[in-house]
């Protein structure tokens, strides 16, 4: 397979930094919006997809730069990571994903810690990951907010897609505080969460009914939980044990809030309950290590949930060891080898992930009007011998490195 061929009008020595008009020519285009296109063309204008179709119906406009590849997919989406807050050096100065001074801090904003220049952001980008849902990670009862970003740009303002996407919570022993501190049991975790939501309800009521000169002072913590109660912000609940999954579903029903289950190692044990609740799952990495709360995980979990009609996406999650992150392309490939079809596995890191994250109007498929985000390959994306040969984000060729 020939290396990615980039033909530009001028003999530019460097890749562009702003959206350009270009065409993508490929032997196979997995649009994730319908049929797979053979010998197809994607036309990009102003960073958006203008046209996509077979080459005999979608000619490359005259004098338009062209990129060629064997296989093209939508840019991959990592549905949950801490990259950008957690850095590859694994040193205190680049580990901002978890603040341990308090069990509950929903007011912490991911955009205040995100480092767009972090090496790991570029590492993921090189493997075709163009969108990430990142932010404060699991480990305390409520660790903070998450955000959705593109893996390009030099600042968070250039990268951000959704500044406040979800509020990250954790249930189970991994969120227990040190001995003698709160919370130390599951009952205490739920009691603290329940009280915080009740306090936010009261706060909302006072804001809505009090006279202008008697409204309560702003409370960032209560405002964050109020957004959950109002349905604006889902609660992302990292949970693995079956009993904790059921507890989170009960809490969601009690307050009428939206939740997204994260990790969910025991999900295959409570599939009926999850399906009845209508709750999506960002399932643990296929190749996660089965120990502790994840001791019952299965490499078939994604397939079982998908078969049951439960919305599912895949994630890289958080790794405590260097290089500090997984790559969802490899996780999806393993899922495809354990019960999922090719299309279903690819959907978990493209369209299905975009739907769960609420950004399917922008990313996740190759359709007219969507962001021009693509991963280019020299073969089947899930084959071990295949390489990523190029990456395009918002109509910009951001990588030509063969990975």
**Helical H runs in 78-216?**
119-126, 156-159, 186-209
Q: Look at residue 4 and tell me whether its pLDDT is greater than 50.
A: no
Q: Distance between CA atoms of 129 and 268, rounded to whole angstroms?
A: 27
Residue 198: CB atoms within 10 A of its CB come to 13
Query: What pLDDT does 335 receive?
Result: 96
Q: Are residues 278 and 378 in the same domain?
A: no
Asked whether residue 172 is domain-assigned, the answer is yes
| Apex 322 CA angle, 141 and 335, nearest 5 | 75
Q: Are residues 19 and 52 in the same domain?
A: yes
Q: Distance between CA atoms of 274 and 148, rounded to whole angstroms?
A: 25
Q: 312-314 and 5-7 as β-strands: parallel, antiparallel, unpaired?
A: unpaired
**CATH number of the domain where residue 53 is located:** 2.30.40.10
Query: What pLDDT does 16 receive?
Result: 56
Q: Are residues 178 and 62 in the same domain?
A: no
Q: Are residues 17 and 109 in the same domain?
A: no
Asked whether residue 314 is domain-assigned, the answer is yes
Q: Look at residue 373 and tell me whether its pLDDT is greater than 80.
A: yes
Residue range of the domain that includes 11: 5-74+367-399
36-57 residue pLDDT tens: 999 999 999 999 999 999 999 9
Q: Are residues 338 and 372 in the same domain?
A: no
- Residue 380: pLDDT band (50, 70, 90) is very high
User: Tokens 């991959």, residue?
Assistant: 76
Asked whether residue 46 is domain-assigned, the answer is yes
**CATH number of the domain where residue 210 is located:** 3.20.20.140
Query: What pLDDT does 320 receive?
Result: 75
Range name among 77-81, 120-124, 318-322, 326-330 with the lowest pLDDT average: 318-322
Q: Look at residue 353 and tell me whether its pLDDT is greater than 70.
A: yes
Asked whether residue 30 is domain-assigned, the answer is yes
DSSP E strand stretches across 1-117: 5-7, 22-29, 37-45, 48-54, 66-74, 76-81
Q: Are residues 114 and 178 in the same domain?
A: yes
Asked whether residue 174 is domain-assigned, the answer is yes
DSSP E strand stretches across 309-384: 312-314, 374-377
Q: Are residues 265 and 377 in the same domain?
A: no
Domains identified in the chain, total number: 2
Q: Are residues 371 and 235 in the same domain?
A: no
> Which secondary-structure segment (H or E) carries 263?
strand 259-263
Asked whether residue 362 is domain-assigned, the answer is no
Surface-to-core class of residue 110, CB atoms within 10 Å of its CB (0-12 exposed, 13-18 middle, 19+ buried)? buried
DSSP readout, 191-260?
HHHHHHHHHHHHHHHHHHHS-GGGPPPP-HHHHHHHHHHTTSS-EEEEE-SHHHHHHHHHHHHHHT--EE
Q: Are residues 228 and 290 in the same domain?
A: yes
Q: Are residues 226 and 182 in the same domain?
A: yes
Query: What pLDDT does 13 receive?
Result: 36
Q: Are residues 241 and 121 in the same domain?
A: yes
Residue 305: CB atoms within 10 A of its CB come to 23
Q: Are residues 116 and 208 in the same domain?
A: yes
Q: Distance between CA atoms of 253 and 239, rounded to whole angstroms?
A: 17
DSSP readout, 53-77?
EETTTSPPPTT--EEEEEEEEEPEE
Size of the chain in residues: 403
Q: Map residue 34 onto helix, strand or coil.
A: coil
Q: 129-135 and 235-239 as β-strands: parallel, antiparallel, unpaired?
A: unpaired
Q: Look at residue 7 and tell me whether its pLDDT is greater than 60.
A: no
**Helical H runs in 237-325?**
242-255, 271-277, 301-307
């Amino acid at each position: 397979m020939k290396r990615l061929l980039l033909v530009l009008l001028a003999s530019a020595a460097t890749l562009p930094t702003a959206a350009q008009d270009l065409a993508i020519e490929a032997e196979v285009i997995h649009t994730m919006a319908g049929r797979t296109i053979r010998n197809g063309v994607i036309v990009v204008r102003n960073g958006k997809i203008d046209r996509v179709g077979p080459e005999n119906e979608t000619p490359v406009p005259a004098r338009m730069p062209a990129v060629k590849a064997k296989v093209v997919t939508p840019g991959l989406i990592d549905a949950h990571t801490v990259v950008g807050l957690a850095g590859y050096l694994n040193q205190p100065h680049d580990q901002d994903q978890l603040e341990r001074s308090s069990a509950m801090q929903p007011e912490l904003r991911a955009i205040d810690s995100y480092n767009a220049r972090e090496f790991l952001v570029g590492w993921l980008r090189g493997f075709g990951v163009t969108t990430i849902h990142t932010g404060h990670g699991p480990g305390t009862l409520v660790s903070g907010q998450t955000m959705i970003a593109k893996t390009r740009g030099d600042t968070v303002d250039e990268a951000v897609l959704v500044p406040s996407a979800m509020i990250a919570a954790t249930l189970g022993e991994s969120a227990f505080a040190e001995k003698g501190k709160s919370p130390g049991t599951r009952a205490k975790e739920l009691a603290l969460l329940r009280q915080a939501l009740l306090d936010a309800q009261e706060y909302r009521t006072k804001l809505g009914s009090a006279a202008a000169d008697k409204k309560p002072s702003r409370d960032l913590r209560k405002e964050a939980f109020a957004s959950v109660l109002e349905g604006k912000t889902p609660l992302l609940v990292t949970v693995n044990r079956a009993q904790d999954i059921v507890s989170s579903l009960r809490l969601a029903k009690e307050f009428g809030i939206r939740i997204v289950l994260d990790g969910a190692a025991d999900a295959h044990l409570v599939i009926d309950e999850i399906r009845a609740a209508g709750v999506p799952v960002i399932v643990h990495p296929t190749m996660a290590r089965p120990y502790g709360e994840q001791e019952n995980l299965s490499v078939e979990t994604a397939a079982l949930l998908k078969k049951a009609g439960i919305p599912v996406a895949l994630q890289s999650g958080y790794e405590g060891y260097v290089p500090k992150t997984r790559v969802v392309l490899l996780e999806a490939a393993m899922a495809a080898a354990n019960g999922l079809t090719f299309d279903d596995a690819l959907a978990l890191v493209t369209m299905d992930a975009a739907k769960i994250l609420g950004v399917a109007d922008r990313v996740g498929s190759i359709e007219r009007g969507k962001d021009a985000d693509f991963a280019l390959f020299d073969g089947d994306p899930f084959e071990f011998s295949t390489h990523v040969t190029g990456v395009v984000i918002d109509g910009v060729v951001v990588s030509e490195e063969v990975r």
